[in-house]
Amino acid sequence: MPNDTQQLHDEAVAAYQAGRFDDVRLLAAELLQHDPAHVGALHLNGLVALAESDAAEARNWLERAIRIRPEPILFNTLYAIHLKLGDTNAAMQSIRRGLSIKPELAALHYNLALTLHHHDCLDDAAVSYRRTLELEPEHSAAHNNLGRVYGDLGLLADAERHYRHAIGLAPGNLVARNNLSMLLLATGRFDEAWPLFEDRWVSFKRSDGQPARVPVQVPLPRWAGERWHDGGIEPRATRQRLLVLHEQGFGDSLQFVRYLPLLLGLGRFEKVAYVCPLPLRRLYEHSLCARWPGLVMLDAVPADLVEWDCYCPLMSLPMAFGTRVDTIPAAAPYLQAETGRATAWRRRLEALPQSQPSMLRVGVVWAGGHSGIAVDRQRSLSFAQIAPLLAIPHIHWISLQKTDDLAKRPDTNPHLTDWTDQLHDFADTAALISQLDLIISVDTSVAHLAAALGKPVWLLNRFAGCWRWLNARDDSPWYPTLRLFTQPARGDWHSVLARVAAALPDPFAVTEKRL
């Protein structure tokens, strides 16, 4: 019977690996009929229940198995079950119980590191990732994640070394390639970065929050830039029609939409269409389409692509143009507010109580708009943190904070005017911003909008921030009117706000000419 039991277990494992869960259940039931204490069968039942999202049932199977024989691999599965149930403390306890039995099991150290990393315990996560690599030096994912930790700690040389090691071990590690691309962009090495940045889609999320499986694409030839012939663009008999696909967030669109008119300037395309999110459409039609007739906005990818010759994702345009730091197309403003709406906002601002021409009008955004993304915690302030800045006198503070998260909305504050319920799209927001003197914002779409309008922007930048702001700079080659106020250490908003307060001009020196 032992040989028969081993064969049944091997068949059950093979069925699990092939995703044949009904067969696993049948084989496990037969094993348990022969041996009610068969730990392997109990474990397989738990794995199947976990795979089918029945975490409570999975926990029952694993706890039963552990009572019979507490093996480290069982605690590793129980860790995953507790995470599925949302019980992080129990998950961590499971990992530590497994490590107490087998301290040299790399999988347990790696999962401990993942959990610590997720909860922003970076130093402790680094210790566990390093221990993982001591036990399993060719663990590509551990190298990549340790690189992420070092990057978040501002140790870019160490981060780059681990990203490159991860890719060397597993050239198909797209996450590591994407991470390396952003590090290279942050350090100004655009030529090497853009091809790697083509793997950015691995970090995309669908509308339901699930990871994307494929990059943004359509069944057309991909345009990746011009071919050069005898010192110039290779001549074409006919001009083509290019479909540019939207990707990622509003801020990404506001930053890279500057390339659309440049496409028409190549002389290759008679028509360029951008699949434009509705909140941006009116702004772009006024700012871009009215000036460049060959540019059109579309609500969605056309069902029939017969009218289009090729396509390009929006954020691949910098690579197509061979953009380097010194060739960033940074002429601003490239977006404009509608005159009538801007005039209406000017009148409302002038009608504010105690309004004087010498008073600064400062728009403020203290938090990101997407609480579901991991970086939002690092880039956002609470309203309590920003409130002391709003107490600075002789300034009209205007809220530009739009969010669906009630926790990010302002408390009642006598120093802040909030008209955001009347801002229905980015054209509305642009009109209000056009009548302000300065915008102080965290790293979110409003900062891009204001800078693209040519307004002075002071960006409250988190430590080791987004690649687009480059490393160790207080200006931006993407936006001539943007100034960076970067945290000197992780989470240190106090120093940032103190520097902002000190940098604000004497309100009595402001004239009607405005900033």
DSSP state string for 255-305: HHTTHHHHHHHTSSEEEEEEE--HHHHHHHIIIIITT-TTEEEESS--S--
**Amino acid, res. 315:** M
DSSP 104-126: T-HHHHHHHHHHHHHTT-HHHHH
Q: 327, 354, 378: which is the final residue of a domain?
A: 327
pLDDT number for residue 21: 97
Cα(187)–Cα(194) distance, integer angstroms: 13
Q: What is the pLDDT of residue 5?
A: 87
Per-residue pLDDT at 235: 46
Residue 497 lies inside a defined structural domain of this protein: yes
Tell me the C-alpha distance between 170 and 274, whole Å.
35
Number of domains within the chain: 2
- Report if residue 313 sits inside a domain: yes
Same domain, 313 and 358: no
Query: Which of 473-480's residues contact partners 24+ apart within 8 Å by CB, and which partners?
Result: 476/451, 477/325, 477/326, 477/328, 477/330, 478/255, 478/328, 478/330, 478/451, 479/330, 479/332, 479/448, 479/451, 479/452, 480/330, 480/332
Q: Which tokens go with 16?
A: 């699990």
Claim to verify: residue 285 and residue 373 sit in the same structural domain: no
Three-state secondary structure of 49-73? HHHCCCHHHHHHHHHHHHHHCCCHH
Identify residue 211 by its one-letter amino acid code: P
Q: Residue 269 is part of which domain span?
A: 241-327
Q: Which of 253, 298, 251 is nearest to 271 (CA)?
A: 298
Dist CA 109 CA 131 (whole Å): 7
Q: What is the CATH number of the domain that holds 420?
A: 3.40.50.2000
pLDDT reported for residue 143: 98
Last residue of a domain, one of 327, 349, 371: 327
**316 and 343: one domain?**
no
pLDDT of residue 213: 74
Shared-domain flag, residues 287 and 392? no
Residue among 340, 347, 335, 338 nearest 446 (CA): 335
Query: Are 374 and 483 in a shared domain?
Result: yes
Any bridge partners for residue 244, and if so which? 274, 312
What six digits make up the tokens of 303? 């069902």
Residues 362, 421: one domain?
A: yes
Q: How many other C-beta atoms can be found within 10 angstroms of the C-beta atom of residue 384?
A: 9
In a domain, 138, yes or no: no
CA 318 to chain centre: 18
- Looking at the structure, tell me whether residues 318 and 387 fall in a common domain: no
Domain membership of residue 46 (yes or no) is no
Residues forming a β-bridge with 399:
364, 418
For the chain, the farthest-separated pair of C-alpha atoms sits apart, in whole angstroms, at: 94
Residues 382, 492, single domain; the answer is yes
Query: Are 397 and 461 within one domain?
Result: yes
In this structure, is residue 481 part of a structural domain? Answer: yes
Q: Is 495 helix (H, G, I), strand (E, B) or coil?
A: helix
Please tell me whether residues 504 and 483 are part of one structural domain. yes
Residue 147 lies in a domain: no
Of 327, 348, 368, the last residue of a domain is 327
What helix, strand, coil percent values describe the chain, rounded to 5?
A: 50, 10, 35
Which residues are registered as beta bridge partners of 269? 240
Same domain for 407 and 321? no
Q: Are residues 289 and 384 in the same domain?
A: no
421 lies in some domain: yes
Residue 225 forms part of a structural domain: no
User: How would you write the pLDDT of the chain (515 residues) with one tens digit per residue?
Assistant: 456 889 999 999 999 999 999 999 999 999 999 999 999 999 999 999 999 999 999 999 999 999 999 999 999 999 999 999 999 999 999 999 999 999 999 999 999 999 999 999 999 999 999 999 999 999 999 999 999 999 999 999 999 999 999 999 999 999 999 999 999 999 999 999 999 999 999 988 765 566 777 899 999 999 999 754 334 444 454 689 999 999 999 999 999 999 999 999 999 999 999 999 999 999 999 999 999 999 999 999 999 999 999 999 999 999 999 999 999 999 879 999 999 999 999 999 999 887 677 789 999 999 997 666 778 889 999 999 999 999 998 899 999 998 777 667 777 778 899 999 999 999 999 999 999 999 999 999 999 999 999 999 999 999 999 999 999 999 999 999 999 999 999 999 999 999 999 999 865 444 434 44
- What counts of helices (H) and strands (E) characterise the chain? 22, 13
Whole-number Å distance between alpha carbons of 344 and 342: 5
| Inter-residue long-range contacts of 4-9, CB under 8 Å, 24+ positions, other chains counted | 4/34, 5/31, 5/34, 5/35, 5/38, 8/34, 9/38, 9/40, 9/41
- Rg of the chain over Cα atoms, rounded to whole angstroms, equals 28
